[in-house]
Amino acid sequence: MPRQVAMRAAFVGIAANSCLLALKATASGLSDSLTIFSETLNSLSDVLSAVVILLCVRWAWMQADWNHPFGHRRAEPIAALIVSIFTAILGFEVCRSTVIHL
Ligand SMILES: [Zn+2]
């Protein structure tokens, strides 16, 4: 059951963040606002993170096989690492862009 809950949460996250991404990208294009553009990047990061989480949750719950005799449970910390790297890169880029525009 926890796997199904995690998968459902990832699907809902992808759908909701994709809608937000489309709205913010449209608003960003119309307004030429740096703030809305940074929010667009934030939503893009959320969509990518949700996709990574979905893939890694599926992978983490696979049964042990010949190549991975202890199972695939370490996929979840790998997902957390990837998502944190996405977030750090996004935060750095938004800070850099903001300082340039000052
Ligand atoms: Zn394997």
How far does residue 87's CA lie from ligand 1's centre (Å)? 28
pLDDT for 4-24, tens place per residue? 888 888 899 899 999 999 999
How far does residue 2's CA lie from ligand 1's centre (Å)? 20
| Distances from the Cα of 33 to the Cα of 18, 38, 92, 93, 101, angstroms | 20, 9, 18, 16, 11
Q: Structural domain boundaries of the chain?
A: 3-101
Asked if pLDDT for residue 28 goes beyond 80, the answer is: yes
pLDDT for 49-90, tens place per residue? 889 888 988 888 899 999 999 999 898 898 889 889 988 988
Provide the whole-model pTM.
0.75
How far does residue 100's CA lie from ligand 1's centre (Å)? 45
How far does residue 66's CA lie from ligand 1's centre (Å)? 7
Asked if pLDDT for residue 44 goes beyond 80, the answer is: yes
